[in-house]
A = this chain, B = another copy of it.
Amino acid sequence: MSRYELRFSGAGGQGLITAGIIMAKAASIYEGKQAVQSQSYGPEARGGASKSEVIISDGPIDYPKITQCDALLAMTQEAANKYSHDLKEGGVLLIDSDLVKNIPVGNFKTVAFPIINTAKNDVGREIVANIVALGAMVALTGQVTRANAEKAVLSSVPEAFIELNRKAFSLGYERAEAAAKG
């Protein structure tokens, strides 16, 4: 049985829980797989750290937590330092290149671009940085199609923000593809 584990990590307020929920909806409702999405709140949450996890599988998911992470998004240096050790050999690490200056080293592929800056300056609203990041994670992980992920994004946002989120998702997807090709 295939099992694919994603972690979205960074700071509270960056929209990482929402990004995880939309990824899980894309995988289940639109892609026909099964998914579990979760977040733990411990002492670290009171320090402003945040992470959200998604497990995607073709069948029922017995253990709903990360065991060996396939793909990690790190939106802060602290998150990159803390979670890159759990990445599988051959996994993928996506970082915001403005916020993660000390790039973790390991047997995984690292992709970097200015995620928050793309939201702020190219989409026009910093608040959609999580959707830029989600578009990038969809491109890098290949667990759901671009079309299904876009449907999950657009069905999750208020009508007035559909175009903003569509643009954020597309730019994230395309910048990550370009950055991955190097």
Can you list 11 pairs linking A and B with CB atoms under 8 Å apart?
Answer: A21-B39, A28-B42, A28-B46, A29-B46, A32-B46, A34-B41, A35-B41, A38-B39, A40-B61, A42-B60, A64-B64
Is A42 in contact with B34, judged by CB distance below 8 angstroms? yes
Residues of chain B contacted by A34 (CB below 8 angstroms): 40-43
Minimum CB distance partner of A25 in chain B: B41
List, in ascending order, chain B residues with CB within 8 A of A45's CB: 25, 28-29
Cα distance A17–B40 when bound, in Å?
14
A interface residues with partner B (beta carbon < 8 Å): 17, 21, 24-25, 27-29, 32, 34-43, 45-46, 60-61, 64-65
Q: A35-B42, A38-B64 are in contact. List 18 more A-B contacts (CB 8 A).
A: A17-B21, A24-B39, A25-B41, A25-B45, A28-B41, A28-B45, A29-B45, A29-B46, A34-B40, A35-B41, A36-B39, A36-B40, A36-B41, A37-B38, A38-B39, A42-B60, A64-B64, A64-B65
- Specify the main secondary structure of chain A where it touches its partner: mixed
Checking B21, B35, B39 against A40 with a beta-carbon cut-off of 8 angstroms, the contacting residue is: B35
The 4 closest A-B pairs by CB, nearest first: A28-B41, A38-B38, A35-B41, A34-B42
